[in-house]
């Protein structure tokens, strides 16, 4: 197996440095998302910025659903099947425990009892900054998978998409709710409902046939998976949190080390754009879908005061549960300390994101505050 990996890495190295006229370098980027999706469009922006920053000396080719799927991405980048890819860390709990723990505490965004505006943009900035600058254990997890982290991306906040009105916690009693993470499943149980696990492709039929009453889902999925055809009610303000456990451009470490300092800096500059475009794209689509839902007769509720207070009490307690789970199950002995160190970044980024009005401004913000501070001569080396 080690010989196979070494051979694949050498082939990847050769592919990077012996492609195109005059041996211009070309990176193979694997996307597990379909063409014309938000993630795919962000990847295309990345390739253009990379080309512009290096005057064409370094480029990237995006392979959508043809080189690696999302379940293959981590091992595929590790073994050199692709030079880089989108890696969704929660798909690989054993490989990235510290990183996944940070992703699991995204409901802390709701501190204060309500969703902040642009929650995904906030979490992307905080998560990227922490992994780059303040989590050596996270970097060890990445190194063990022969990867270099080059930025994150996040969804908008997660409300309840339902086939019945939900305004207070008592309205959830006895309901069946599809969840996409352990923290949301625990919240559902605390509110007196039953968490249900099903793939995202099954949610439409699940709601349509009454198998589930609600799904904890971003409003982006209203159009992507046509859930706007079966959802009748949306409840904002609970449970909150975002899906932010992603590496939008995880790169094979051998490939990264084969680049010059200037080329690595260009990759970082392009990755800041990638993170911004992906997060902004999901945020904008979520807002667009919510507005369309209101126009098309879907009833939008704000969670009641008691519901939000009960949710906040759950979040405060669940942070302790998360830390203990990762300490006992995954050996993250400093779990509580990591969470305490990460918390202040959420408020910092809420302040920083306030007033940002375009993906271009967001990319400049990410670059100034995070990516430009990464030393290309030392990082990942």
Total Cβ atoms within 10 A of residue 101:
24
Predicted confidence at residue 18, as pLDDT, reads: 44
State which residues form the domain around 262.
2-154+244-290+343-373
- The answer on 309 and 182 residing in a single domain is yes
- The answer on 233 and 257 residing in a single domain is no
For 297, half-sphere exposure in the C-beta direction (CA atoms, 13 angstrom radius) is 5
CA-CA distances (angstroms) from residue 107 to 23, 25, 114, 162, 286? 47, 41, 10, 20, 18
CA-CA distances (angstroms) from residue 34 to 65, 68, 210? 6, 12, 29
Q: H-helix or E-strand containing 248?
A: strand 246-252
Strand extents, DSSP E, 257-347 = 299-302
Residue 323 within a domain: no
- The answer on 47 and 114 residing in a single domain is yes
Beta bridge partners of 63: 30
Report how many domains make up the chain. 2
Domain with residue 128: its CATH number is: 3.40.190.170
- The answer on 211 and 104 residing in a single domain is no
Residue 334 within a domain: no
- The answer on 137 and 79 residing in a single domain is yes
Residue 330 within a domain: no
CA-CA distances (angstroms) from residue 189 to 26, 159, 185, 227? 49, 16, 6, 24
Residues contacting residue 98 through CB under 8 Å, at least 6 positions apart: 135, 137, 138, 141, 326, 332, 338
Q: CB–CB of 175/199 below 8 Å?
A: no
- The answer on 307 and 201 residing in a single domain is yes
Predicted confidence at residue 24, as pLDDT, reads: 66
Q: How far apart are CA 165 and CA 167, in angstroms?
A: 7
Is the bond preceding residue 239 a cis peptide, omega within 30 degrees? yes
Residue recorded with tokens 């754009």:
273
Q: How far is CA 334 from the centre of its chain?
A: 23
Pairing mode of beta strands 160-162, 299-302:
unpaired
- The answer on 362 and 280 residing in a single domain is yes
For 19, half-sphere exposure in the C-beta direction (CA atoms, 13 angstrom radius) is 16
Residue 10 within a domain: yes
Helix (H/G/I), strand (E/B), else coil: 188: helix
Of the candidates 241, 208, 7, the one whose C-alpha atom is nearest the C-alpha of residue 102 is: 241
- The answer on 51 and 149 residing in a single domain is yes
Residues contacting residue 146 through CB under 8 Å, at least 6 positions apart: 9, 77, 78, 79, 252, 253, 254
Residue 12 within a domain: yes
Of the candidates 10, 31, 14, 59, the one whose C-alpha atom is nearest the C-alpha of residue 270 is: 59
Residue 329 within a domain: no
- The answer on 258 and 217 residing in a single domain is no
- The answer on 120 and 42 residing in a single domain is yes
Residues contacting residue 100 through CB under 8 Å, at least 6 positions apart: 89, 90, 93, 245
User: How many residues would you count in the chain?
Assistant: 381
- Rounded to two decimals, what is the model's pTM? 0.91
Rg (CA), the chain: 21
- The answer on 197 and 177 residing in a single domain is yes
Residue 327 within a domain: no
Residues contacting residue 212 through CB under 8 Å, at least 6 positions apart: 176, 177, 178, 196, 198, 203, 206
Q: H-helix or E-strand containing 101?
A: helix 97-104
Strand extents, DSSP E, 18-175 = 25-31, 58-64, 84-88, 147-148, 160-162
Q: Digits of tens for pLDDT over the chain (381 positions)?
A: 444 444 444 444 444 444 444 456 899 999 999 888 999 999 999 999 999 999 999 999 999 989 999 999 999 999 999 999 999 999 999 999 999 999 999 999 987 666 788 999 999 999 999 999 999 999 999 999 999 999 999 999 999 999 999 999 999 999 999 998 899 999 999 999 999 998 888 999 999 999 999 999 999 999 989 999 999 999 999 999 999 989 999 999 999 999 999 999 999 999 999 999 999 999 999 999 999 999 999 999 999 999 999 999 999 999 999 999 999 999 999 999 999 999 999 999 999 999 999 999 999 999 999 999 999 999 999
Q: How far apart are CA 122 and CA 226, in angstroms?
A: 27
Domain with residue 166: its CATH number is: 3.40.190.10
Alpha-carbon dihedral sign for residues 239, 243, 244, 245: positive
Residue 337 within a domain: no
Predicted confidence at residue 34, as pLDDT, reads: 87
- The answer on 176 and 84 residing in a single domain is no
């Amino acid at each position: 197996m080690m010989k196979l990996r070494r051979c694949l890495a050498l082939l990847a190295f050769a592919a990077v440095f012996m492609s195109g006229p005059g041996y211009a370098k070309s990176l193979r980027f694997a996307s597990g998302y379909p063409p014309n999706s938000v993630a795919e469009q962000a990847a295309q922006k990345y390739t253009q910025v990379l080309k512009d920053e290096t005057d064409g000396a370094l480029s990237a080719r995006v392979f959508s659903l043809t080189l690696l799927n999302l379940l293959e991405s981590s091992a595929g980048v590790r073994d050199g099947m692709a030079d880089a890819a989108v890696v969704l860390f929660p798909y690989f709990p054993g490989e990235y425990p510290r990183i996944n723990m940070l992703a699991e505490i995204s409901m802390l965004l709701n501190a204060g009892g309500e969703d902040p505006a642009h929650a995904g943009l906030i979490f992307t900035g905080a998560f990227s900054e922490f992994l780059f600058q303040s989590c050596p254990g996270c970097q060890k997890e990445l190194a063990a998978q022969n990867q270099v982290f080059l930025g994150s991306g996040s969804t908008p906040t997660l409300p309840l998409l339902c086939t019945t009105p939900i305004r207070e916690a008592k309205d959830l009693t006895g309901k069946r709710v599809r969840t996409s993470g352990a923290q949301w499943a625990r919240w559902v149980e605390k509110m007196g409902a039953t968490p249900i696990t099903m793939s995202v492709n099954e949610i439409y039929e699940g709601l349509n046939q009454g198998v589930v009453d609600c799904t904890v889902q971003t409003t982006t999925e209203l159009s992507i998976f046509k859930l706007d055809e079966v959802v009748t009610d949306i409840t904002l303000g609970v449970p909150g949190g975002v899906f932010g456990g992603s590496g939008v451009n995880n790169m094979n470490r051998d490939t990264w080390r084969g680049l010059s300092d200037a080329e690595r800096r260009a990759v970082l500059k392009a990755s800041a754009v990638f993170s911004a475009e992906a997060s902004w794209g999901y945020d904008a689509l979520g807002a667009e879908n919510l507005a369309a839902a209101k126009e098309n007769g879907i009833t939008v509720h704000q969670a009641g005061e008691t519901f939000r207070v009960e949710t906040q009490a759950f979040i405060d307690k669940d942070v302790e549960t998360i830390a203990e789970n990762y300490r006992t199950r995954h050996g993250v002995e400093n779990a509580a300390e990591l969470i305490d160190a990460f918390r202040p970044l959420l408020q910092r980024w809420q302040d920083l994101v306030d007033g940002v009005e375009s993906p271009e401004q967001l990319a400049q913000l990410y670059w100034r505050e995070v990516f430009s501070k990464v030393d290309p001569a030392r990082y990942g080396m």
